[in-house]
Chain A
Amino acid sequence: MLKIAKERLNELYAAISNAMELVLPVKKAGEVNFAMWAEGKEVSLETLKTVKSPKDTFFPQSENMMKFKTDGKNIEILDIRAEKAPTVLFGVRPCDYKAIEVLDKVFLADPVDTYYQNRREATTIITLACAKPEESCFCKVFGIDAAAPAGDVATWLDGDNLYWQANTEKGEALTALVKELFAEGGEAEVSAQQEKTRAIVEKLPFATLDLSRLSPKTSTIYSMTLLGRK
Chain B
Amino acid sequence: MKDVELKVVERAKALLASGEVARVVGWKKGDFCFDPSPAVFESVEELDGLVYNWFCGANLSKYLIEISKKEGKTAVFLKPCDTYSFNQLIKEHRINREKVYAIAVECLGKLDVEKIKAKGVSMIEDVEVVEKEVKVATAYGTETLHKPEVLLTKCETCQKTHQVKDEEIILHERPARDVDRFAEVAKLEAMTEDERFAFWKEQLSKCIRCNACRNVCPACSCVKCVFDNPASGISAKANDAEFEEQLFHIIRAFHVAGRCTDCGECSRVCPQNIPLHLLNRKFIKDIDGFYGEYQAGEEAEGKTPLTSFTEGDVEPNDAVDGEAK
Judged by CB atoms under 8 Å, the answer to whether A and B touch is yes
Chain A residues within 8 Å of B, Cβ to Cβ: 28-31, 33, 51-52, 61-64, 132, 134-136, 203, 205-206
Please give, as numbers and ranges, the residues of chain A lying within 8 Å of B324 by CB-CB distance. none
CA distance A47 to B204 in the complex (A): 21
Q: Which of B122, B202, B237, B239 meets A135, CB within 8 Å? A: B122
A28 touches B271 (CB 8 A): no
Contact with A along B31-62 (1 / 0, CB 8 A): 11000000000000000000000000000000
- Asked whether A203 lies within 8 Å of B139 as measured between CB atoms, the reply is yes
Residues in chain A near residue B117, CB distance under 8 A: 134
Contact A62 B238 (CB under 8 A): yes
The closest CB in chain A to the CB of B208 belongs to A52
B203 at the interface (CB under 8 A from A): yes
Chain B residues, CB < 8 A from A136:
31-32
Cβ of B122 and Cβ of A31 under 8 Å apart?
no
Task: Please give, as numbers and ranges, the residues of chain A lying within 8 Å of B240 by CB-CB distance.
Answer: 61-64
A125 to B203, CA, bound (A): 28
Q: Can you sample 20 A-B contacts with CB below 8 Å?
A: A28-B202, A28-B205, A28-B206, A51-B206, A51-B271, A52-B208, A61-B209, A61-B237, A62-B239, A62-B240, A63-B240, A64-B240, A134-B122, A135-B32, A135-B122, A135-B124, A203-B139, A205-B31, A205-B32, A206-B31
Q: A29 near B203 (CB under 8 angstroms)?
A: yes
- Cross-chain contact of B123 among A62, A135, A206 (Cβ < 8 A): A135
Cβ B206 vs Cβ A33 within 8 A: yes
Chain A contact surface mostly: loop
Instruction: Collect the chain A residues with CB atoms within 8 Å of residue B205's CB.
Output: 28-29
Once bound together, how far apart are the Cα atoms of A51 and B207, in whole Å? 11
**Which residues of chain B have C-beta atoms less than 8 A from A62's C-beta?**
237-240
Decide if B122 touches A61 in the complex (CB within 8 Å).
no
Give min CB distance, A99 to chain B, whole Å: 16
Q: Is the CB of A29 within 8 A of B124?
A: no
Nearest opposing residue in chain A for B35, CB measure = A136
Task: Give the size of the chain B interface in residues (CB under 8 angstroms).
Answer: 21
Name the residue on B nearest A61 (C-beta): B238
B273 within 8 Å of A (CB atoms): yes
Q: Is B272 an interface residue (CB 8 A)?
A: yes
Kindly provide the distance from the CB of A27 to the nearest chain B CB, expressed in whole angstroms.
11
Most buried by B among A30, A134, A136: A30
Give B residues with C-beta under 8 Å from A: 31-32, 117, 122-124, 139, 202-203, 205-206, 208-209, 237-240, 271-274
Residues of chain A within 8 A of B209, CB atoms compared: 61
Query: Which chain B residue has the least Cβ–Cβ distance from A30?
Result: B273
CB distance B206 to A29 under 8 Å?
yes
Q: Distance (Å) between the CB of B201 and the closest chain A CB?
A: 10
Please pick, from A28, A52, A132, A205, the residue contacting B122 in the complex, using a CB distance under 8 A.
A132
Shortest Cβ gap from B273 to chain A (Å): 6
CB-CB under 8 A for A134 and B123, given A31-B273, A51-B272, A205-B32: yes
Give the CA-CA distance A177 to B124 in the complex, in Å: 43
Whether the Cβ atoms of A31 and B32 lie closer than 8 Å is no
Residues of A within 8 A of B139 (CB): 203
Contacts of A64 in B (CB 8 A): 240
Interface centre among A28, A29, A31 (most CB of B within 10 A): A29
Q: Which residues of A contact B274 (CB under 8 A)?
A: 29
Chain A residue with minimal CB distance to B204? A29
Residues of the B chain whose Cβ atoms lie less than 8 Å from the Cβ of A52:
208, 271
Q: How far is the CA of A136 from the CA of B239 in the complex (A)?
A: 29
Known: A51-B271, A135-B124. A29 touches B31 (CB 8 A): no
Least CB distance from B22 to A in Å reads 29
* B124 contacts across to A, CB distance below 8 A: 135
Q: A206 CA to B124 CA in the complex, in Å?
A: 14
* Residues from chain A with Cβ under 8 Å of B206 in the complex: 28-29, 31, 33, 51
| Chain B residues with CB below 8 A from A134, complex form | 117, 122-123
> Shortest distance in angstroms between B317's beta carbon and chain A's nearest beta carbon?
34
Measured between beta carbons, the chain A residues less than 8 angstroms from B122 are 132, 134-135
B residues near A135, Cβ cutoff 8 Å: 32, 122-124
Q: Which of chain A's residues has its CB closest to B244's CB? A: A62
Contacts of A31 in B (CB 8 A): 206, 272-273
- Bound-state Cα–Cα, A135 to B140, Å: 12
Closest Cβ–Cβ distance, residue B161 to chain A (whole Å): 32
For the complex formed, measure the closest distance between the CB of B139 and the CB atoms of chain A, giving whole angstroms.
7
Nearest 10 interchain pairs by C-beta: A61-B238, A62-B238, A62-B240, A29-B202, A31-B272, A29-B203, A135-B123, A51-B272, A51-B271, A134-B122
Measured between beta carbons, the chain B residues less than 8 angstroms from A63 are 240
